[in-house]
Amino acid sequence: MKKFISLMLAALLAVSAFSFAAAKPEDATRAGFGMSIANFSTTDLEGNPVDGSILDNADITFFNYWATWCGPCVNEMPHINQLYQYSLDNPDYGVQVVAAISESNGCTPQSALAFLNQRDYKWLNMRLDGVLRSVFSTSGYIPQTLIVDRNGVVLDHIVGSFPSYNMLKDYVDMWLDVVRNHQGENCTITFKNKANDEVLTTLEVPYGGLITMPEGPAIEGYTFNGWEINPDNPNHQIDENILVTHYDPYYYIAMGDATVYGSYNIQRFLVRFYDSITNTIITQGMVDYGTAATAPEAPEHEGYTFVGWDQDFSFVTGNMNIYTVYEQASFVPGDVDNSGSVTTSDAITILRMAMGLAGVDGAVLPIADMSGNGSVGMEDAILALRTALGL
């Protein structure tokens, strides 16, 4: 039954189920759950006094908020009338029906009274006072319905219309069951990691009370993505022991022990592999936390032997820049063609480098730089030629 009611609420809160009434106050952060209306004092539509003492007439009060111009309000009123008639015919039922009007867009006590009389709707209707306005103004839409206990505590605050009498009646009966049979009971809400079913935390919530979702516990390498009631279908948040109500944000009411699942996204990090000789990127890519990066094939450079990488990347925990490590092969200074000796051909090549006619890459620089000054110049060409000539 509870699952059916939650499904009904999903339909109930469709856009077509309510009308815009007024701007939502900037400081309104939640609906009226837990607020008290016990001290309201106002008048009915004919000016007769009415106050919170009427709430003691029944176990729960179905308190509707509506306007004559609101289509969804008008459409659900026959269902409310059926509930009202049922409560009259069954005095032990324990439910009373009352309402208040939104005095806006031409809806006045006079026009509302005429509307009700024309349709023979006889339940008590009243004007808002400060107490009632403080609850109903937490949303800018109508119709709204409060489920209120004898003490004036708002147990539920619904924004939207009931599409059928059966849905309305089932919903009211659910709250009657809570008030009559579950007062003083607690529900255990268990929060688990969706990935591995590990218990993250638990909460004890009064039966029929709001579930305050905790902050997602930090897990190294993961980003918390939110709580899910139904881990098999995150877009269809239904659980037989959790009632989802209101419209934005959604509120969760405990109707029994339940499990909520934390969704986590694994963090990914950028890993770059560099050629340390040319200081250029060989390859780069995103790697999941805790997994190994895949190394590319290291470039070959004349005069150097690749011996590995400058750091371990078998367990990535952050962005990384990884460089090749080379050992410089033994060489004969001036032997740029790696023939084993310095020849006039080597001297000519070094001369071309000195004149800018040939490039000097990182591998050949230490071979051609016979003077050891960090660059290839005319002095290196002369030293190579003297060596080649045996001078």
- DSSP per-residue letters across 323-338: EEEEEEPP--TT-TT-
CA distance 256 to 5: 14
Structure tokens at 149: 């206990």
Identify the pLDDT of residue 249: 65
8 Å CB contact between 370 and 384: yes
| CATH number of the domain encompassing residue 78 | 3.40.30.10
Mark whether 77 and 211 lie in a shared domain: no
Last residue of a domain, one of 151, 181, 211: 181
Burial 263-277 (b: 16+ CB within 10 A, else e): bbeebbbebebbbbb
Last residue of a domain, one of 159, 181, 203: 181
Each residue of 177-210: pLDDT tens digit?
A: 999 999 899 999 999 999 899 999 999 999 999 8
Hey, is 144 helix, strand or coil? strand
Hey, is 297 helix, strand or coil? coil
**CA dist 366 to 63, 171, 308, 347, Å?**
90, 86, 21, 15
Identify the pLDDT of residue 3: 43
Residue 99 is assigned to a structural domain of this protein: yes
**CA dist 325 to 68, 176, 275, 280, Å?**
80, 75, 8, 14
Residue 336 is assigned to a structural domain of this protein: no
Residue 337 is assigned to a structural domain of this protein: no
Residue 250 is assigned to a structural domain of this protein: yes
Domain total of the chain: 4
Hey, is 9 helix, strand or coil? helix
Structure tokens at 283: 């390859």
Residue 23 is assigned to a structural domain of this protein: yes
CA distance 355 to 351: 6
Q: What is the mean pLDDT of the chain?
A: 87
Mark whether 32 and 142 lie in a shared domain: yes
8 Å CB contact between 41 and 294: no
Tens place of pLDDT for every residue, the chain, 391 residues? 454 444 445 444 443 444 444 333 333 345 788 899 999 999 999 999 999 999 999 999 999 999 999 999 999 999 999 999 999 999 999 999 999 999 999 999 999 999 999 999 999 999 999 999 999 988 888 899 999 999 999 999 988 899 999 999 999 999 999 999 998 999 999 999 998 999 999 999 999 998 988 999 999 999 999 888 877 765 555 678 888 875 556 788 999 999 999 999 999 999 999 999 999 999 999 999 999 999 999 999 877 889 999 999 999 999 999 999 998 767 788 888 878 788 999 889 888 888 888 887 766 788 888 888 888 899 988 888 888 888 7
Phi then psi for residue 32, to 5 deg, are: -85, 10
Which residue range(s) make up the domain with 279?
268-328
Mark whether 10 and 117 lie in a shared domain: yes
Closest CA to 174 of 12, 5, 360, 319: 5
Structure tokens at 183: 């007062």
Mark whether 125 and 61 lie in a shared domain: yes
CA distance 77 to 58: 21
Give residue for tokens 């900037």: 26
Residue 335 is assigned to a structural domain of this protein: no
Mark whether 191 and 145 lie in a shared domain: no
Q: What angle do CA 169, 233, 29 make, to 5 degrees?
A: 60
Closest CA to 44 of 57, 32, 54, 58: 54
Residue 338 is assigned to a structural domain of this protein: no
Mark whether 150 and 255 lie in a shared domain: no
- As a residue count, the chain comes to 391
Mark whether 251 and 300 lie in a shared domain: no
Mark whether 66 and 144 lie in a shared domain: yes
CA 120 from centre of chain: 47
Residue 71 is assigned to a structural domain of this protein: yes
Give residue for tokens 């009274």: 113
Mark whether 273 and 259 lie in a shared domain: no
Last residue of a domain, one of 217, 238, 266: 266
Mark whether 196 and 225 lie in a shared domain: yes
Residue 388: other Cβ atoms inside 10 A: 18
CA distance 88 to 80: 12
| CATH number of the domain encompassing residue 301 | 2.60.40.4270
Give residue for tokens 């995103």: 286
Radius of gyration, alpha carbons of the chain = 39
10 Å CB burial of residue 300 (0-12, 13-18, 19+) is exposed
Mark whether 282 and 256 lie in a shared domain: no
Mark whether 375 and 238 lie in a shared domain: no
For the chain, counts of helices (H) and of strands (E): 8, 19
